[in-house]
Structure formats: C-alpha cells, structure tokens
Amino acid sequence: MTKTPNPSIGNGGEPHQRADGEERVLTTNHGVPISDNQNSLKSGARGPTLIEDFVLREKIFHFDHERIPERIVHARGSGAHGVFEATDDISDLTRAAVFRHGEKTEVFARFSTVAGGSGSVDTPRDVRGFAVKFYTDEGNWDLVGNNIPVFFIQDAIKFPDLIHAVKMEADRGYPQAGSAHDTFWDWASLSPESTHMLMWAMSDRTLPRSLRMMEGFGIHTFRLVNAEGVSSFVKFHWKPRLGVQSTIWDEALKLQAADNDYHRRDLFEAIDSGSFPQWDLGIQVFDQEFADAQPYDVLDATKLIPEEDIPVRLIGTMTLNRNVDNFFAETEQAAFLPSNVPPGIDFSNDPLLQGRLFSYLDTQKSRLGTTNFHQIPINAPRCPFGNFQRDGMMQTNVPNGRANYEPNSLAAHGEEGGPRESMDGFSTTNAVTGPDEMGDKLRVRPESFSDHYSQARLFYRSQDPHEQAHIASAFVFELSKVGLLDQVPPRMVANLRNVDEDLAKRVAKGLGIDLPAKAKAAKDPVDMDPSDALSIHKNMKPTLEGRAVGILIADGTDAVALDKLIAAIAETKGKSVIVAPRVGGAKLSNGKQRKADGQLAGTPSQLFDAVAIIVSDEGCAALMQESAAVEFVMNAFGHLKAVGASEAAQPLLDKAGVEPDDGILGIDGAFVKAAAMRFYDREPSVRMLA
C-alpha cells in the first residue's frame, strides 16, 4: 500500500511532498534525484532564473514536445488489445505460424474514421479504418484495412488527389470530416474508377451502429505461401460476431450532437464491462485459373470477389479484451505498416498495395520530422517549380486558391487550376536494367482495370429497396452541398447512369436537374448476379445482444411492468437504460424511488436501438409538457425503431406524430422481439427519400 508522502511547506507556502525512504524517488529522465520540483533555480529569491537549471529545462522541454503531428488520414482512432486464436488448420496454404491450429497471438486493433481530424466526431458518413497488429513469434503482421472491401482508386499515385479532394478545402479550412462538398465530388465525378466505392460510401455501411458491429477487409489481394513454396491468392475478411448493424443518416446527425465520442465510448465501455467484442477472420482463397476466368481483374482494389463465387472460410477469432492504459502512448503512437508480414504471407502486384508498401513507412518518418526539407534554402531548386504537394511542418510557401488535386475542373469555373503534365516531361526508359527483368516499364493501367461500373451495379442491385433509397438520398444530399462548381452534379449523375438508370433518375430528380447524357464508359459494364452478402438488411441478425433499449419513466410508472420489461430485455442479452426527467429518477407505483441512468434532456433516443415509454396518466401529462420527451418519441419513430408504450402513454405518442405500424407495440414480449429490428417500411412516412 502506497504511503502518503511526507508533507513540507516551503517559504512561499508551497507544499513539498518528500519521500521518507520507502517511496519511489522523483528523478530526471536520466535518473538524477530531484530535491525541489516546485521552484526553478534563481540567483537570489527575487533574482533571475539561471540557465543552468537542468531540472527546469528538462521538464519544460519534454512538455513542449508532448504532442506529435496527427495522421493525415485515420487521425481519429480508438484502440484496444486482445488475442487472436487460429481455429482451422490451413497449413496446406501457408507456413505462417499465426495460423497454426490452436495458436494464440496477442493483437492490437485500431478503428478510425478517415477524413476527419483527431478532434472531430465519431459518427460522420465516412469509411472506417480497421487495422490489426498481430504480435506473432515470427515478427509483426499488420493487416491494415477498412470496413469496406473495395477502395476509391486503382493506383496509389491517385491517393494524394483523393485525400486532398475529400479533406477540408484548401482556401477555407472546412468542411471537416465529411465528403459533402465541392472538391470531393469534383474529383469523384472525374474519376469513374471510384464509382463502386461510392456505392458503398453512400450506403449505410458508412454509418455503423458500433465499431463492434462492422466488418473489416484487407481490401487487396495478397498471397499465402506454404512450406513447399506453393502460393495462392487470398483476400482477408473480418466478420463481427454481433452482426453488421448501422444507424441511419438523420440519426447519425443527432448522435453527433448527443455524443461526439459515441463509438469510442461504446467500445471502451463494452470491454470495460466484460462484453468483449469478437470477430471471425475469414479468407477467400483462389488460384490463377480462377483469376483469369473472372470478368474483372482480381488485383484491382476497386473490385471484390462475390462470396457466392468463393465462400469465406473462417479460420480464427479475434477477441478484444483489454482497453489501453494510455491513449497517447498506445492508440496514438501505434504505427501500422502493410509491409509488415511474416513468412507465409506475401504481396500481389496490386498497384495500390504496392504504393501502400512504400507510403506507410514514409508516413511514420513524417510524423517525427518534416516533408518540406526541400524548402530549406540549401535544398531548394533554383528553377521554377509547381505541383500539388501541400502543407506539412515548416511550410514556407503560401499557395493561393484551392487547386491541390487533379484532375480538377476549377479553371472551367474561373479559378486557378494549377500546373499540368508536360508532353516533354520525364519518362522512364524501357531499357533493360538487369538480366532477370521482363517486360516494358510503363506508366499505364491494364485494360482489365477499365471496368469501373459492373461491380458498382452489382453492389447497388444487391441492396434491398430501402438500402437503395438510402444510397440515392445520400447522393442527393452530398451533391446538393456542391456550391459553385455547377458542372459537377450533372457529371456525377452521368456516371451513375452506367450503374443503374433508376438510381441516376432518382438522384437527378432529387437535385432538381435534367438527366444528363450517360458518361462514356472505358469499358461497358456487365450484369453480375446480385450478392445477398453485400446487403446489410438481408443479413440482419434479429438480436438485442450488444444493443440498448431506452426506457422512459416518470412519477407513477408501474413498477411491476418496468421490472418485467427489464428482465425480458436481460434475457435477450440486451441492455436496459432508464431515462427520466430528473437524474434522481421517479417515484414508481409502489412508492419507491427508481434512480435513472440518464436525464431526459441529455439522453435522447438516438442513443438506443429501441425505446419503451412506461408511464401513468399523471406521468404522461407531465411529459407532454417536456419538448425533450416529445422529441424522444418522435426521433425514435423517425429513426425507424421499435416503440413500446403503456396504454397511458398514447397521448404522448399522438403528440409526437407516431402512427401505428408493426413497430409500434405495447410493452410485452412482442416489443422485446421487435426491439432487435428497424422498421424500414415506415421510412417513406417520416422523410422524403430520393
């Protein structure tokens, strides 16, 4: 047991806590014991501070450098420790020790948004990073992916343009953490290869209910190599044990106001309470013959392999069972490198992957120094230069305008468009540079990468009608935020006509523009059989496990009914959260005071997966005078959640505009069953969809 340090008072009345011989001694970083941590060394009590005070200098020096530059992308992250257990023998496919049957490997996982800074919110419409570091006995393996199996681009040379376009606009520093603005859609509408990913980005996949309820994907095609040196192509999948769940757009907006840290808090509290999140690791394995037979290139990161063609084989389980001890030391400083692979796992020639193998190592260096060393006078070129590289530490140039990406159409709108490629620019020679080199060195993409729309069509047509409406509405919302670049929305809709005519018409109608001519596709799309695995709704798990039901009470609430409902929710492994007008709770029908878990004004219904209102006539009358109570019910109804209510609550439901449907129930077992679902058939009655 730690003893209380011996207190002492200095000349100025300041306390000094001194070790008595048993406590740890305070030292400098180099182990020198410190006699006074309250006063700097001075020349006389009122004299100047002396430069020789190494205790002061070290303390201030370290404080001044406690922060490092945040990540350019994936800056806002949440992390946790855990363990991976291999559950299937795949020694015929790979020699990697991490996959030995029964092998347990320590892991660290980091989940993140992409576009926002470290101080942004948890719930924007955004792709989520899903990175896992395996501390194997053959070295670290970093599986660095996203919650979506495809990506916006095919070649790593386009990544700076994508991120410049989606980030805050260069001349104004906003908007933050969102793609609904000019430059992103300018770039996207000029980049047909992004179309498949745009389908996913505009779907509910980018509005996850919880980090615990989203899939993860390695995105690229990798290779597994066995002990005999025989290799196979492989794609990696993470499947959440709780199933894939999402919020809806209006709910996500309100979650940002209710709790900026909604996902981070959810992950931390789940682990802290012992509800350890789990994912199964799966693989899709195939050979060159299968690859050659597909209508798409398996090395194209904008494509996926439908699970109907190659089912996902589950080979292990990851359990996150320990929160970090210090956020900065672990989550913030964690460095993931796709180039970290153990023997038995190898790379393919995916050009996006090849770029990442270089970029991530370079990124770690940049967080410790500067990318702008070329601006130091001794390094600076003496001739004119211009490109789209921007910002970074020690930036001394001051570029004008917002042209920091290409292709762009800013010049067509009267803005500076920036420099352009030169026909006389540097070209790599095709001369052979070694005896084993084969083929020409070319800055080209294979024709097999030219189909940008078939899988986008596959994704859209694999969704159910509600999901398709969400995708169309998301396009309408985002493109409506495009300001002065009036050519951009029609150009984007022209691309969408290659995906699905109905989708394009819905988006055009939602924007109030004429349907433009279809954009010319580099390769005509082909129809692929719909894949149910791509739909959230078609794979919904009707379970309350890992989810929460908000129960609104007031004075006079039936104590027996309340306890019965809480017990029924607990039986389903769900969580009950009591909400009342006052944090002290309410006096129930049995005369006892029931403490609330949350106060009504600060605990809106968007925090829950379903709501129940158990009130008496007196309690209902009081709640009808509370706008927060009306909004609690109104938003739950609008967010398509199950609403259970006692008979006395009907006036409150009426005031909130609740109309009867399959999701409006009493507070019996039928409600508990319905609480695990969303009622998407309700949506046309509560909002206009494209």
- The pLDDT assigned to 401 comes to 86
Summarize the confidence of residues 617-645 as an average pLDDT: 97
> Residue 479 has which token pair?
């493109």
Is 146 an active-site residue? yes
What's the pLDDT score for residue 429?
40
| Token digits of residue 107 | 């892991």
Count CB atoms within 10 A of the CB of residue 34: 12
* CATH code where residue 143 lies: 2.40.180.10
Answer whether residue 602 shows pLDDT above 90. Answer: yes
In a domain, 160, yes or no: yes
Q: Any alpha helices (H) in 43-97, and if so which ranges? A: 54-64
In a domain, 435, yes or no: no
Query: Is the confidence at residue 47, as pLDDT, over 80?
Result: yes
Q: Is pLDDT at 382 greater than 60 in this prediction?
A: no
pTM, two decimal places: 0.82
pLDDT recorded at residue 2: 46
Q: For residue range 163-178, list pLDDT tens digits in order.
A: 999 999 989 999 999 9
Residue 356 marked as a ligand binder? yes
Which residue did the predictor score with more confidence, 114 or 375? 114
159 annotated ligand binder = yes
For 3, the 3-state DSSP assignment is coil
Domain CATH number, residue 554: 3.40.50.880
The first and second tokens of residue 34, run together, are 């410190």
Q: 33-37, 192-196, 447-451, 645-649 — which is least confidently predicted?
A: 33-37
- pLDDT band for 351, please (50, 70, 90 cuts): confident
Query: Residue 23 is encoded by which pair of tokens?
Result: 């406590």
Catalytic residue chosen out of the listed positions 81, 146, 470, 498:
146
| CA distances from residue 543 to 176, 320, 631 in whole angstroms, order as listed | 35, 21, 26
Of 341, 369, 397, which residue sits at a domain end? 369
Determine phi and psi for 433, rounding to 5 degrees: -110, 0
Confirm if 108 and 147 have CB atoms less than 8 A apart.
Answer: no
Is position 187 within any domain? no
Answer yes or no: is 378 within a domain: no
Mean pLDDT, range 614-626, rounded to an integer: 96
- At a CB cut-off of 8 Å and minimum separation 6, what does 430 contact? 440, 441, 442
Contact 643, 618 (CB under 8 A): no
Grade residue 373 by pLDDT with cuts at 50, 70 and 90: very low
Tens of pLDDT, residue by residue over 207-249, are 999 999 999 999 999 999 998 988 999 999 999 999 999 999 9
Residue 1: its pLDDT value, please? 40
Helix (H, G, I), strand (E, B) or coil at 129: strand
Residue 37 has pLDDT above 90, yes or no: no
Tokens of 491: 């150009």
Q: Is residue 483 part of a domain?
A: no
**Catalytic residue check, 349:** no
Kindly give the pairing relationship between strand 313-323 and strand 278-286: antiparallel
Q: Does 570 have pLDDT greater than 70? A: yes
Q: Does the structure show a pLDDT above 70 at 394?
A: no
The predicted model gives 476-482 an average pLDDT of 97
- Report the distance separating Cα 676 and Cα 343, nearest Å: 43
Please determine, for residue 582, whether its predicted confidence score (pLDDT) is greater than 70. yes
Q: Is the pLDDT of residue 657 over 60?
A: yes
Can you give the pLDDT at residue 483? 92
Mean pLDDT of 398-406: 81
- Whether the per-residue pLDDT at 347 is higher than 90: the answer is no
SS3 content of the chain, % helix, strand, coil (to 5): 30, 15, 50
Examine residue 45 and state whether it is found in any structural domain, yes or no.
no
Q: Is the pLDDT of residue 377 over 70?
A: no
Per DSSP bridges, beta strands 643-645 and 664-665 are parallel
Amino acid of residue 410: L
Tell me: pLDDT of 7 over 70.
Answer: no
121: which 2 tokens?
């919110």
CB atoms within 10 A of CB 363: 17
Q: Is 110 annotated as a binding residue?
A: yes
User: Mean of the pLDDT values across residues 487-510?
Assistant: 97
| Domain endpoint, select from 334, 369, 404 | 369
Omega of the bond leading into 175 within 30 degrees of 0 (cis): yes
Q: pLDDT tens digit string along 268-281?
A: 999 999 999 999 99
For 417-434, the pLDDT digits (tens) are 888 776 655 534 444 444
pLDDT in tens, 532-564: 999 999 999 999 999 999 999 999 999 999 999
Weakest-pLDDT range from 222-231, 282-291, 377-386, 442-451: 377-386
The predicted pLDDT at position 439 comes to 67
- Write down the pLDDT at residue 424: 55
Is residue 233, in this structure, part of any structural domain at all?
yes
Give the integer Cα–Cα distance in Å for 35 and 58: 15
Of 369, 402, 429, which one is at a domain's C-terminal end? 369
Task: Please give the Cα distance from 587 to 380 (Å, whole number).
Answer: 74
Give the domain range for residue 116: 77-182+209-369
Mean pLDDT in residue range 621-635: 97
- Whether 353 is covered by a domain: the verdict is yes
What is the domain count for the chain? 2
Query: Is residue 360 part of an annotated ligand binding site?
Result: yes
pLDDT of 179 over the 90 cut: yes
Instruction: Tell whether residue 328 is among the known ligand binding residues.
Output: no
**Which residue is catalytic, options 11, 16, 30, 74?**
74
Question: How confident is the model over 501-515, as pLDDT tens digits?
Answer: 999 999 999 999 999
Residue whose C-alpha is closest to residue 50's, from 38, 63, 61, 39: 39
The per-residue pLDDT of the chain, averaged, comes to: 90
Is 445 annotated to bind a ligand? Reply is no
Output the pLDDT for position 46. Answer: 82
292-335 pLDDT, tens per residue?
999 999 999 999 999 999 999 999 999 999 999 988 778 887 88
Report the pLDDT value the prediction gives residue 263, as an integer from 0 to 100. 98
User: What's the confidence (pLDDT) of residue 61?
Assistant: 74
Whole-number pLDDT of residue 427: 39
| CA atoms lying within 13 Å on the CB side of residue 632 | 31
